[in-house]
């Protein structure tokens, strides 16, 4: 009898170990939207580590009405190439950063190329009109709203004390191949389906998300909001 009990105990122990080894596979996989937000936060943290003297400045972000973060924008094409990338946009609402809105970037100036390159883009919306154009349908960069490479270094005064070079400032991690003019004609558009899936509400529109009407902000979105708040203190 003792041997039988001992054997049962050993078998139970092995069964517990087997179940524990399977736990990672039983965990809920990340949705495409959560995975994209994780990528966005990682990209933003990399941007925050870039010295301002090397081409990036958080100063315009402190004055921006909204910011779009689009990691891994791809320049593709065997003969004629464009650009494509998915990311998120956050806007200021009552002094705080809103929950993220999923967006996509397509097109841009075409050129001859035989390669495929990726870069992380940061688009800062410096006027309320440029943000409103996006939320009303889509925003065509360079089509009524000027786009320019964002100023580098820390300005001597607040960004609002200096004349704006463009309604939308752009920063790119791969400066070797990027020029703001390449984005002229590119279209930034809200991805309604991604927003519905991520927030679990079919009745939630872009204005509502950026206007603080998300009742339960997911943890992955809160991490992005907190990182933006740190960078714009």
Average pLDDT over residues 167-184: 74
Q: Cα–Cα distance between 107 and 84 in angstroms, integer?
A: 7
Q: Which of 12-26, 66-80, 214-228 shows the lowest per-residue confidence on average (mean pLDDT)? A: 12-26
Q: For position 37, what pLDDT does the model report?
A: 93
* pTM for the whole structure: 0.78
Per residue in 197-212, pLDDT tens? 999 998 899 999 999 9
The domain locations on the chain are 30-231
Average pLDDT over residues 48-66: 76
Q: Retrieve residue 186's tokens.
A: 């590119």
Q: For position 12, what pLDDT does the model report?
A: 63
- C-alpha torsion sign, points 170, 173, 179, 183: negative
Q: For position 100, what pLDDT does the model report?
A: 97
On the question of pLDDT at 218 being above 70, the answer is: yes
């Amino acid at each position: 009898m003792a041997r039988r009990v001992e054997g049962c105990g050993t078998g139970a122990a092995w069964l517990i170990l087997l179940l524990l080894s399977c736990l990672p596979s039983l965990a809920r996989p990340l949705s495409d939207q959560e995975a994209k937000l994780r990528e966005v936060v990682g990209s933003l943290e990399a941007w925050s580590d870039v010295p301002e003297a090397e081409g990036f400045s958080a100063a315009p972000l402190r004055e921006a009405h909204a910011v779009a973060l689009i990691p891994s924008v791809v320049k593709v094409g065997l003969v004629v190439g464009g650009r494509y990338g998915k990311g998120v946009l956050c806007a200021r609402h009552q002094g705080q950063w809103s929950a993220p809105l999923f967006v996509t970037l397509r097109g841009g100036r075409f050129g001859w190329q035989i390669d495929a390159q990726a870069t992380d883009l940061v688009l800062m919306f410096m006027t309320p009109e440029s943000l409103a154009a996006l939320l009303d349908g889509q925003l065509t960069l360079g089509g009524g709203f000027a786009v320019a490479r964002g100023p580098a270094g820390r300005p001597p005064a607040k960004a609002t004390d200096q004349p704006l070079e463009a309604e939308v400032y752009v920063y790119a991690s791969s400066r070797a191949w990027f020029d703001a003019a390449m984005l002229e004609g590119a279209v930034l558009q809200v991805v309604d389906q991604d927003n519905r899936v991520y927030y679990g509400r079919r009745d939630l529109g872009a204005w509502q998300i950026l206007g603080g009407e998300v009742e339960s902000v997911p943890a992955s979105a809160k991490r992005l909001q907190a990182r933006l708040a740190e960078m714009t203190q």
